[in-house]
Structure 1
């Protein structure tokens, strides 16, 4: 991708750029206009300059995929999206007013006011979940309210859609989110449970009624993992006048195990709307945290977080196998690229429900300082992502069946093998190139992948090399894998 085209006065895809309204850690917001849009709109542009986190690029791609599929009063309307090949952006409606973040200086708020606010947010969450999306970043700065009163959920960079690839889950091992609001199961890699959003909403409800976050401000992974076994102080210990029905709701949302939380956001909204009908349990009477014996039992009982249904995963794998093709966008020959594409087409023809993951590894130096921009100022991560999409264009796959992944690693083969293991890839397709002194000394990538991957591996050779009888770099275990 070239340098950013977005600046005041510029015109991008028919949108006239106005002033920069906000500059955040992962994106900037600009006021824009277009003749055919008769309401205020914003252009959100990702940060792609030197040193920016690659996760920001991936999360922006998630937002580009998810926003156009959403509708209704609880989400911002999406008008357009720009491709990374030219200028990445999304244009959404500009909702008047401020986020809940601006009210933090007023905390704690009156119980009745918070009850009404959170009931509206729960209603918005219920609508979002019905559209197959889990937000995964519910916090004050991602919530706004329309003049008509409906809550609006913004910022979908960390979200996942049931019917779309979850790029953050596939490419990164650490959980991404806002630490004080993150649900315990997120520490275990679970992103498919909508009850994670209810936990985050419980944190917000606790915070806005007590003025204290239930798990503090810790940002370390070690600190966040404590919530897998440690419950928060009951609100009544902080505020003796805390209503029992409200504590019942708060502590139910903050249950460590998702199965003990509200099953749906709709039921949570109902309880907040009808506090007199809340069924009180021992939660409502607590004034102390759970005893240390209970905490230790949780900590050393690995059955704490309920695993996802294995039968569902098995059915998904059987009906939708995952095929990964490793593509070298920097050194691969056109003959090899074509051979890879032909092989992929043949395999997908027999698996009409298969997912295809196009993978490239941006090799890092062991002792050098790697730059994210090339000599022309282009972001290397984005350039390769665009190249992968270009490679896959002739396959004419539906967007829901195709994903592209640029991995950053010192060892490309190890990165491909790890990607396959973490993402339950069923079949790896990888190309083999001519022999070279370097590959003879260090070992080829395709040979190592074929030897170490725990799934089927097909090694593809350019037809012209095979026709000339040229020995390939992979006449060992890789050749055996390609013939298996």
Structure 2
């Protein structure tokens, strides 16, 4: 194992060290180049002589193991690594930009700045979770914002992969994380639940909105355990200008029990991108921390760690239980039978996913050039009328459930666009939709020649698609799931 300090101009496995960019307590970051690798590169080298914490060394091994498995625009590209038998290092893409730490230092900030930025972070987390990895150390210094406005997650030393050994859990018996951001289940040494990252994101949003940390900066396990029974002061009690929808989102992320938080980062991002559709519960109006009686009940539950641990589950299983399903609904009166059939199939799809979020979407077609009137012949707002009709269509899907179930699991959206297929595809892409259910009006000669909305959606959708059609011959309704990006399978169900 190398024990000599590195110097500018030195070469390590073909990489030339140029300048020391940062010296932290655990590692040193160098700007490096290599003739076989273009673009800006960074080398991360652990400070072995100054590290007295075995978790730091294990964490470096974890990052060496996990980073090569990751891909996409929200993580640095892995280049190379050296093991501890010679010179340990990780070389990766150098992310231009700054971390979110300065934003936290200048908090509080208005909701219109917080929401779109945190939506980007949530989407980056969803991309990570889809690769079966939980970050488990989400904090401002581990989130980079590029000059192009893209979010990149860094530092995977505490991360956990579903299909990789958990070296930290195997070798250590203490909670791992950063004090202000660690989730309650992490305090109990649960390291596989993606909703832990959402708790940390809730802590960030709370700080950005109020200028204060919801749980302070505890430095002991005893201090960390308090969040198992103590809830934070509601943001509006600190700053009255925090809107109800933002308080609802923040406090939902900070729930002690993982099953009371958002079911996925994609569902959180959807609310941050569409604040007008956020379902407001008692959280939104909360003005005080919970009563002593509620806190006492939580404290008693916390004495049985198994009750909290049992609510957590691996990232792949959690995402499978919490897809975003989009029902593309045609509300024309002449297609009422199709709308009813679409509702029946949608009910079947969401029944198999207990934490699914249903997005009911209809398109109000506009002209490309002419100015469209927003009023009908009777002077009523067409957009509002469509929205009311869409909510009426969705209500029977959860008949018998508590009204809050409909509010938290269903959102309704009226899109205005000249091209319905393009509008639906854009919504699906932006909101990370996992499954589209869409109706087809039939197969007339004009429709076969010009193409249908459903066919265009099935051909280009970034997810699976179910097309629902009622044949002209009156045969029973059938539906067929169509795999995304497989043109040979893009056939309407008959």
Normalised TM-score (structure 1): 0.63
Give the corresponding residue for 2:247.
247
Kindly report which structure 2 residues correspond to 1:403-414, keeping only aligned pairs within 5 A, or say none.
none
Give the corresponding residue for 1:145.
145
Q: Work out whether 1:308 is the aligned partner of 2:318.
A: no
Kindly report which structure 2 residues correspond to 1:329-348, keeping only aligned pairs within 5 A, or say none.
none
Give the corresponding residue for 1:478.
none
* CA RMSD across the alignment: 1.7
More contact order relative to length (CA 8 Å, sep ≥ 6): 1
For the residue of structure 1 that corresponds to 2:147, the secondary structure is coil
Structure 1 CA distance for aligned equivalents of residues 313 and 203 of structure 2: 32
Kindly report which structure 2 residues correspond to 1:202-351, keeping only aligned pairs within 5 A, or say none.
202-301=202-301, 302=303, 305-308=307-310
Which range is displaced more, 49-58 or 291-300? 49-58
The alpha carbon displacement at 1:294 in A equals: 0.6
Structure 1 CA distance for aligned equivalents of residues 269 and 206 of structure 2: 15
Please say if residues 229 and 296 of structure 1, whose CA atoms lie closer than 8 Å, have aligned partners that are also in contact.
yes
The alpha carbon displacement at 1:105 in A equals: 2.9
The alpha carbon displacement at 1:255 in A equals: 0.1
Q: Aligned pair in 2 of structure 1 residues 281, 310: CA closer, same or farther (>3 Å)? A: closer
Q: Aligned pair in 2 of structure 1 residues 51, 280: CA closer, same or farther (>3 Å)? A: closer
Structure 2 CA distance for aligned equivalents of residues 217 and 204 of structure 1: 13
**Structure 2 portions without partners, runs of 5+:** 315-494
Please say if residues 258 and 311 of structure 2, whose CA atoms lie closer than 8 Å, have aligned partners that are also in contact.
no
Please say if residues 4 and 87 of structure 1, whose CA atoms lie closer than 8 Å, have aligned partners that are also in contact.
no
The alpha carbon displacement at 1:77 in A equals: 0.5
Structure 2 CA distance for aligned equivalents of residues 90 and 273 of structure 1: 35
The alpha carbon displacement at 1:307 in A equals: 3.0
For the residue of structure 1 that corresponds to 2:270, the secondary structure is helix
Q: Work out whether 1:135 is the aligned partner of 2:130.
A: no
The alpha carbon displacement at 1:149 in A equals: 2.1
Structure 1 CA distance for aligned equivalents of residues 163 and 191 of structure 2: 13
Give the corresponding residue for 1:112.
112
Structure 2 CA distance for aligned equivalents of residues 109 and 241 of structure 1: 10
Structure 1 CA distance for aligned equivalents of residues 312 and 246 of structure 2: 36
Q: Aligned pair in 2 of structure 1 residues 148, 50: CA closer, same or farther (>3 Å)? A: closer
Structure 1 CA distance for aligned equivalents of residues 174 and 274 of structure 2: 39
User: After superposition, what is the alpha-carbon deviation per residue over 1:392-446, rounded to whole angstroms, capped at 9, x for unaligned?
Assistant: xxxxxxxxxxxxxxxxxxxxxxxxxxxxxxxxxxxxxxxxxxxxxxxxxxxxxxx
Structure 1 CA distance for aligned equivalents of residues 208 and 7 of structure 2: 38
Q: Aligned pair in 2 of structure 1 residues 37, 152: CA closer, same or farther (>3 Å)? A: same
Please say if residues 179 and 217 of structure 1, whose CA atoms lie closer than 8 Å, have aligned partners that are also in contact.
yes
Q: Aligned pair in 2 of structure 1 residues 106, 71: CA closer, same or farther (>3 Å)? A: same
For the residue of structure 2 that corresponds to 1:92, the secondary structure is strand
Please say if residues 124 and 151 of structure 2, whose CA atoms lie closer than 8 Å, have aligned partners that are also in contact.
yes
Structure 2 CA distance for aligned equivalents of residues 310 and 202 of structure 1: 18
The alpha carbon displacement at 1:111 in A equals: 1.2
Structure 2 CA distance for aligned equivalents of residues 310 and 157 of structure 1: 21
Structure 2 CA distance for aligned equivalents of residues 36 and 308 of structure 1: 49
The alpha carbon displacement at 1:309 in A equals: 7.5
Structure 2 CA distance for aligned equivalents of residues 303 and 275 of structure 1: 37
